[in-house]
């Protein structure tokens, strides 16, 4: 079946640095990918919709200059957390397509 | 607007007993409904989905769910619970080209 690969699974970075998270669709093309954030003991919150070849669509309250999304090909979307701060520490998950329901394995970001 | 509710934050079931995790939704029209399971520090694993057809959907690991249009419900069930079923379960709904909307999650604990 369809698989979405997300990398890295864990990352620790210093405050003020930037971190890039990759989301790849394997064996299929995804014109649309989604980025979610999950706080401890909470549900998934949609951050943005990544559209291949065009600008991402951000949900209300999500800073687009802080969470940079690039979807340069039909199989790869990246989320870059710029100038990360401890409050950005969270679990980030991507998915490909809407009705396919395929998710990556998630990235645990810890900013120290 | 579409929404989904999981009324129980926590469900405890004795091993070997049947389990039910509840989900209700609110959309106009015909929804796509999903169930996912999440283990600690992991992404979402797809269990099953309802699109159309038979109201009883069978999924992974022996789980099934019944789509009930009159009650707008999509409860997750399993005839005999295993300790390894202990995890966080999310119900999600999408309608048309709308985004995937998640419930708040239900923590299922199977007691040996």
Residue A16 has pLDDT above 80, yes or no: yes
Predicted confidence (pLDDT) per residue in A36-89, tens digit: 999 877 788 999 998 888 899 999 999 999 999 999 888 999 999 999 999 999
Which residue of chain A has the CA closest to B39?
A: A105
SS3 state at A88: helix
- How distant is the alpha carbon of residue B15 from its chain centre? 19
Predicted pLDDT of residue A54: 87
Predicted pLDDT of residue B77: 98
Residue B95 has pLDDT above 80, yes or no: no
Residue B101 has pLDDT above 90, yes or no: no
Q: How confident is the model at residue A98 (pLDDT cuts 50, 70, 90)?
A: low
Distance (Å) of CA B5 to CA A100, B22, B92: 21, 8, 9
B43, A44: Cβ pair inside 8 Å? no
Peptide bond into B90 cis (omega under 30): no
Q: Which of B31, B34, B44 to mutate to test the interface with A (most CBs of A within 10 A)?
A: B44
Residue B17 has pLDDT above 80, yes or no: yes
- Which DSSP string corresponds to B44-112? EEEEEEE-SS-SEEE-GGG-EEEEETTTTEEEEEESS--GGG-EEEEEEEE-TTPPPEE---EEEEEE-
A to B CB pairs, distance under 8 Å: 49
Residue B85 has pLDDT above 90, yes or no: yes
More confident residue, A79 or B100: A79
B-contacting residues in A 44-83 (Cβ below 8 Å): 44, 46, 49
Predicted pLDDT of residue A99: 63
A42, B104: Cβ pair inside 8 Å? yes
Residue B28 has pLDDT above 90, yes or no: no
Predicted pLDDT of residue A100: 62
- Residue B43 phi/psi, 5-degree rounding, is -75, -170
Integer Cα distance of A49 and A60 in angstroms: 12
Give percent of chain A above pLDDT 90.
64
């Amino acid at each position: 079946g369809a698989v979405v690969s997300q990398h890295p699974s864990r990352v620790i970075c210093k405050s003020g640095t930037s971190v890039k998270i990759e989301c790849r669709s394997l064996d299929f093309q995804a014109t649309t990918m989604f980025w979610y954030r999950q706080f401890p003991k909470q549900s998934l919150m949609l951050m943005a919709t990544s559209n291949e070849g065009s600008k991402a669509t951000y949900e209300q309250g999500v800073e687009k200059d802080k969470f940079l999304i690039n979807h340069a090909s039909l199989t790869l979307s990246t989320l870059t957390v710029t100038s990360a701060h401890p409050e950005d520490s969270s679990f980030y998950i991507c998915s490909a397509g809407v009705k396919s329901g395929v998710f990556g394995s998630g990235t645990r970001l810890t900013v120290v | 607007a579409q929404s989904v509710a999981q009324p129980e934050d926590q469900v405890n079931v004795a091993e070997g007993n049947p389990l039910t995790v509840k989900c209700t939704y609110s959309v106009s029209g015909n929804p796509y409904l999903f169930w996912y399971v999440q283990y600690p520090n992991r992404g979402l694993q797809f269990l099953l989905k309802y699109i159309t057809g038979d109201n009883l959907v069978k999924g992974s690991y022996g789980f099934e769910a019944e789509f009930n249009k009159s009650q707008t419900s999509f409860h997750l069930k399993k005839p005999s619970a295993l300790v390894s079923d202990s995890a966080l379960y999310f119900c999600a709904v999408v309608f048309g080209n709308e985004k995937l909307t998640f419930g708040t999650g239900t923590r299922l604990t199977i007691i040996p």
